[in-house]
Amino acid sequence: MVGKMFLCLVCLSVLGPLVYGQAVGPAFYENLSELPGVYSNVESYYLSSYDRTGGNDDGFRGTYSQLYIDKAAEHVIFDEDGPGCIFNFWFTGTGRDLHWGKLKFYFDGEEKPRIECEAKEFFSGRYEPFVYPLVTHSFISSGGFSCSAPVPFAKHLKVTTEKTCGFYNVYYQLYRNVKIDSWRKEQDYSGLINLFQRCGSDPKAVGESIEVATKTVALAAAGRERPETELLSVNHGGTIEYIKINPLYAPDKYSLNHFNLRIFYDGESAESVDVPIGPFFGSGLGEADVRSLFVGMSTSGAYYCYLPMPFRKGIRISLQNRSHEAGGQFFCEIGYTKTFQAGKDGGAVGYFAAKYNTAWPITEEKDYVLFDYKGRGAVVGQVMTVEPVKADRKRWWEGDMRIYIDGEKKPRFHGTGHEDEYQGGWSTFWLTNPYSLPLFGQPKTEGLIDVFGQVNGATTAYRFWPGKIHFKKSILISTEHGNHNDTPANYSSVVYYYYVPDAGD
């Protein structure tokens, strides 16, 4: 017994403390019931070809399309020490194929790449194990070539392109005190493929029976007796597993932007969610066919949200009419368990929240702010809607996304334009070909018009960040409206996140 204890102590002293908190790589998707976990040893990052001078040369000339060119004359687009994981990477080209040659992944200092493939073959959807729907080409994600197959690395990862690739971005995470295995050719993505293929059903594995509350409601106009109707109220701990709302009439864009879903936790008077149901379920332009992993809507069925919402003492959920018109009927269904999931391995359990912002229009020469929060938590995803103030005021899409974490002066995330950040590409092609995929999409556009050979119009788009964007002190998510904030437009947005009320919890 003494010998075994001594051996354990020796192992710990050599390896150091290992924190098995948030699952890494493909394992992240295996138990999405743990999505509310907030961890201090996870950091998210974003690389892109944005113009470092502040101009708009984000990939056109290839000036910033690589970090450096190595001794083998390969263009290095990613070079990081692990442990870590790339959760998503994206390129765009001028047609169906990418014409810059081979994509290569070098793991843990190896001289020979474990992944080596012609770019157009890699994104064809047939290159195993990187198959559809883990990868999408430009005729699926409308101008973008995107890969959402997680690629974990233990010690180091270098990714190169054979020639200058033009526009690109990479979303990845780094971890402290975690031991993980690097990607291998035998990597099994079958579970993730199945998960992506059944969007619209609950992606979580709920291990206990679910209580179901249903209610048919009709909302009075604002200022009348009952503009708000309670959907659920419980006075014990538990977790909301899903919320479904099915309009029993044909709602228009105005009503879906004025009927708000509201959520209050643990008897608090301040709501954690107060968001119009259209944007909350994925579209700020009225009903659309949204089929993401976590939220969705249909023009002929129920809207859904499968993001877990734990609560310690109680929860109250209501639907409120903010318009001066009487609302139609809704059939509402909420599934919940009576268990509040405890924190795992040093992680805190976050409360789900959603922040809705608008600027109708934004005209100032400063970024539109989607989210500005002080405290500890993790962002899950976002929905953004843009409507031009005039048909000829175009090129708002040139605005770059910027995300600042924990007070950093330089944005941790810096994008190259709206269509790129939502994994599409080339504004006219993007706007004229809506799409909805598990982690990102542009499900609806409207009012499209040709303005001197370039299409302009309104759009709504969404993106989810696997692994979440963790922050310890603060986070600021903003975007330019046009290059140098020079294009007025109507912006609205929702950011989904988990927050820790008490950092010591």
pLDDT by residue (tens digit) across 406-465? 999 999 999 999 999 999 999 999 999 999 999 999 999 999 999 999 999 999 999 999
Higher-pLDDT residue of 485, 346? 485
Higher-pLDDT residue of 269, 387? 387
Please state, in angstroms and rounded to a whole number, the distance separating the CA atoms of residues 462 and 441: 5
In the predicted model, is pLDDT for residue 16 greater than 70?
no
Higher-pLDDT residue of 3, 38? 38
Higher-pLDDT residue of 177, 334? 334
The pLDDT of residue 324: 81
Torsion of CA 69, 70, 73, 78, to 10 degrees: -60
Please state, in angstroms and rounded to a whole number, the distance separating the CA atoms of residues 407 and 52: 20
The pLDDT of residue 21: 74
What is the DSSP secondary-structure string of 153-203? ESSEEEEEESS---SEEEEEEEESS---PPP-TT---HHHHHHHHTBTB--
The per-residue pLDDT of the chain, averaged, comes to 92
What is the DSSP secondary-structure string of 458-478? EEEEEEEEEEEEEESSEEEEE
Q: In whole angstroms, how far apart are CA 153 and each of 108, 110, 176, 180?
A: 7, 12, 13, 7
With a pLDDT cut of 70, the percent of the chain lying above it is 93
Average pLDDT over residues 341-359: 88
Average pLDDT over residues 294-310: 95
In the predicted model, is pLDDT for residue 342 greater than 80?
no
In the predicted model, is pLDDT for residue 97 greater than 90?
no
Please state, in angstroms and rounded to a whole number, the distance separating the CA atoms of residues 319 and 244: 12
The pLDDT of residue 301: 87
In the predicted model, is pLDDT for residue 100 greater than 80?
yes
The pLDDT of residue 4: 37
CB 310 within 8 A of CB 239: yes
The pLDDT of residue 208: 81
The pLDDT of residue 10: 32
Average pLDDT over residues 316-324: 92
The pLDDT of residue 6: 33
Higher-pLDDT residue of 219, 329? 329
Pairing relationship of beta strands 115-118 and 102-107 according to DSSP bridges: antiparallel
In the predicted model, is pLDDT for residue 311 greater than 60?
yes
With a pLDDT cut of 90, the percent of the chain lying above it is 83
17 pLDDT band, cuts 50/70/90, is very low
The pLDDT of residue 103: 98
User: In this predicted model, what pLDDT tens digit does every residue of 386-400 receive, in sequence order?
Assistant: 999 998 899 999 999
Closest listed residue to residue 153, CA positions, set 106, 190, 90, 185: 106
What is the Cα gyration radius of the chain? 23
The pLDDT of residue 223: 64
pTM for the full model? Answer: 0.94
Which SS3 state, helix, strand or coil, does residue 436 take? strand
CB 203 within 8 A of CB 32: yes
Q: Minimum mean pLDDT among 156-160, 187-191, 254-258, 346-350: which range?
A: 346-350
7 pLDDT band, cuts 50/70/90, is very low
CB 357 within 8 A of CB 496: no
The pLDDT of residue 121: 96
Closest listed residue to residue 243, CA positions, set 316, 306, 321: 306
Phi/psi at 182 (5° precision): -75, 155
In order of start, what are the domains of the chain with their CATH numbers?
2-197 (2.60.120.1390), 211-500 (2.60.120.1390)
Q: Minimum mean pLDDT among 1-5, 137-141, 278-282, 450-454: which range?
A: 1-5
Closest listed residue to residue 189, CA positions, set 383, 25, 47: 25
CB 484 within 8 A of CB 364: no
Higher-pLDDT residue of 174, 207? 174
Separation of first and last alpha carbons in the chain: 36
User: In this predicted model, what pLDDT tens digit does every residue of 173-183 receive, in sequence order?
Assistant: 999 988 999 99
